[in-house]
Amino acid sequence: MVLVIFALSTAVIMPSMSRMLDQATAHAVFFDFQKQVSDLRREANRTGEPLRILDPAAAEALPQPAGEELPDRDLDRVLELRDPWTYTMAPALEIAEGGVCSITSANLVHQDRVVMTLRTLTDDCRFIRSVTGAVPPRAPASR
């Protein structure tokens, strides 16, 4: 009887523990993504050189220089996330010399599944999580 109760408890607890672990990992990847963007913003501000963060697939599609460097290639960056995480970004995030950022959207992807959609809303390079399909709050009922 004790084993049955233990087995049922485990069957109930394990899926929720697994979801909590997945959520914690997703948040850790998000914070790492944001930290790398912030570090590049500080670099652009410190060096006075603009930077561009590209979508990894877009970066691979860029023409490879044959013997001579393309003028803007040294401005392009791709963020490194822990395996098997990756991201998509459209349009590329432009970081000006003073650290001002363009508006963009990004998806954090885990094993071909979009886990988080992010967006910049201001020029300070901070990403916020977009809630897709959210129900807007209801207005208070009038009396």
User: E strand or H helix at 119, and its extent?
Assistant: strand 113-120
Give the residue extent of every domain in the chain: 23-62+72-84+94-133
In the β-sheet with 51-53, what is the strand arrangement from edge to edge? 76-77, 51-53, 93-95
Mean pLDDT of 3-29: 86
pTM over 0.85: no
Confidence of residue 36 (pLDDT cuts 50, 70, 90): very high
Lowest mean pLDDT among 33-42, 45-54, 89-98, 127-136: 127-136
Is the pLDDT at 132 greater than 70, yes or no? no
Distance of CA 129 to the CA centre of its chain: 9
Distance of CA 64 to the CA centre of its chain: 26
60-116 pLDDT per residue, tens:
876 655 555 544 557 899 999 999 999 999 999 999 998 899 999 999 999 999 999
**Cβ proximity of 52 and 75 under 8 Å:** yes
**Cβ proximity of 101 and 94 under 8 Å:** yes
pLDDT for the residue numbered 139: 42
Confidence of residue 17 (pLDDT cuts 50, 70, 90): confident
pLDDT for the residue numbered 64: 59
